[in-house]
Amino acid sequence: MELRVIDKESTELSIEIAGEDHTFMNVLKGALLELDTVQAATYDLNPEQSGGQTDPILTIKTDEAIDPLDVLGEAARNVQQKSENFRDAFQAAS
Amino acid sequence: MTENFEVQFIDRDERTARFLVRGVSPAFANGLRRAIIADVPTLSIDSVRIIENSSVMFDEQISLRLGLVPLTTPPNEFEEGDIVTLALDVEGPETAYSGDLRSDHELVEPADTNIPIIELKYPETADSPQRLELEADAVMGRGRDHAKNQGGVAVGYRHLQTVVVEDDADEYSDSEPEILRGVIEERAAEHAVATDGTGEPENGALVATETFDNDLSKRYPDKEVSVRDVDDAFVFHVESDGSMSVDELVTNAADSLAERATELEQAVQL
Amino acid sequence: MSYKCSRCKRDVELDEYGGVRCPYCGHRVLLKERSRNIKEIDVQ
């Protein structure tokens, strides 16, 4: 996973996350939107055949008070937590 | 974040399982489904060294067939890119099956032994039988790169559904079947009749629709019903190709999501 | 180049001058045998 910041302002961030696809990006976007400090979050991903930019670009808009990079870190932490909680719940049931 | 998942198995056997997960968002459910299909590495044949092939199929065709044979992938034994060597040597008149593959690792073998590779003949006019002898390298790879590496087949989910009894059905109208597939959570037990092996209807019970022929009018006779989705509750159906158990498939998929999230978090902090 | 005669089944060596003909039985149909080298194939 390689990150490349495309655009960064105090409440806005565009970042390329190389090597990922819908599998992770949509989960991450979902986790971002669950945060109260996030006003908007989306990602753009072009298909292989398009020939151009095929790595996803994540865009986040946050409230005034918070750095979007911190928000991204928090969302990633939540995804990790969720996955681990799910795995534990699954193992407990099986 | 206080995320509470609740997992409940509905049915399972050796290669398939159906389970309910509560407290899961649609985004996460889909991420998990995609991870099971494309991100759990399995072993499958990736390159073949043909020593002799006098069969009627081209080397490339035979190699493709070998690639699609699911191989058992023992847990925590291999990493992506690891290689296991297999060999096959069959002479006609006989059919070469996947079960004829011999591997150099005791835990790696074809998940199914009865997949025909090619039928070898010994034609009367020929002076030697057709023969297939080869060596193959199986590589740990992911489903996103090639479908032969998919550990999960027929992986999907549906919303958990529930039935609301609106009213009595019109007394003189013809009763029409009301088809529904999936799993319902019983919330109107007083109107339900016991169906195929599910016992007395009880509120909160999970009932697979097959038990009443997928026809709600058999479960709730003479009632007018409507169906609703239960929020954040999904019934997953996972089928393994035999390379690993369903449990491993699902836990590995969850781990792969967690791993990527950890990686992202660390990358952001730098 | 090595071939096999389709009539007498003997191995035949051809050069560029002799034409296509089995030197043992005169048959003109020769078969190219598969090479004994190991062939490596990528599964795609």
Q: Where are the domains of chain C?
A: 1-36
Helices B246-269 and A68-93 cross at an angle (nearest 10°) of 160
User: Where do the domains of chain B lie?
Assistant: 6-39+153-237, 42-148
- Count how many residues are written for chain A: 94
Distance of alpha carbon B138 from alpha carbon B69, whole angstroms: 10
> Does C35 reach chain B within 8 Å, measured CB to CB?
no
Inter-chain CB proximity C42 and B66 less than 8 Å: no
Which CATH architecture describes the domain A2-93? 2-Layer Sandwich (3.30)
Nearest-Cα distance to chain A for B213, in Å, is 27
Tell me: pLDDT of C35 over 90.
no
- The CA-atom distances, in angstroms, between A29 and each of A56, A78, B130, B250, B259 are 12, 11, 57, 22, 17
- Write out the two tokens for B89: 């040597």
Inform me whether the pLDDT recorded for A86 exceeds 60.
Answer: yes
User: What tens-digit pLDDT sequence spans chain B (270 residues)?
Assistant: 446 899 999 999 989 999 999 999 999 999 999 999 999 999 999 999 999 999 999 999 999 999 999 999 999 899 999 999 999 999 989 999 999 999 999 999 999 999 999 999 999 988 899 999 999 999 999 999 999 999 999 999 999 999 999 888 777 777 788 899 999 999 988 888 887 777 788 888 899 999 999 999 889 888 889 999 999 999 999 999 999 999 999 999 999 999 999 999 999 887
Tokens linked to B23: 């407290």
Nearest to C41 among B44, B48, B54 (CB): B48
- Give the pLDDT confidence score for residue B115 in this predicted structure: 95
For testing the chain A interface, which of B39, B252, B268, B269 should be mutated: the one with the most A CBs within 10 Å?
B268
As its CATH architecture, domain C1-36 has: Single Sheet (2.20)
Which residues make Cβ contacts (< 8 Å) with residue B134, sequence separation at least 6?
B48, B49, B50, B51, B52, B53, B62, B66, B87, B88, B89
- H helices within chain A, ranges in order? 22-33, 68-93
0.85 surpassed by complex ipTM: yes
Half-sphere exposure of residue B161: CA atoms within 13 angstroms, side-chain side: 18
The residues that bridge with B168 in the sheet, in sequence order, are B223
First to last CA, chain B: 24
CA distance B32 to B261: 13
Neighbours of A, requiring at least 3 CB pairs below 8 Å, are B
Tokens of B178: 């009301």
The average pLDDT across C20-34 equals 88
Give residue A84's pLDDT: 93
When comparing pLDDT for C2 and B171, which is higher? C2
Q: Are strands B152-168 and B183-185 parallel, antiparallel or unpaired?
A: parallel
Report the topology of domain B42-148: RNA Polymerase Alpha Subunit; Chain A, domain 2 (2.170.120)
Cβ A31–B27 below 8 Å, yes or no? yes
Which residue in chain B is spatially nearest to C40 when comparing CA positions? B49
Question: Which positions 47-66 of A are in contact with B (Cβ < 8 Å)?
Answer: none
Which candidate in B5, B39, B252 is best for mutational testing of the A interface (most A CBs within 10 A)? B5
Rounded Cα distance between A2 and A16, Å, is 8
Residue ranges per domain, chain A? 2-93
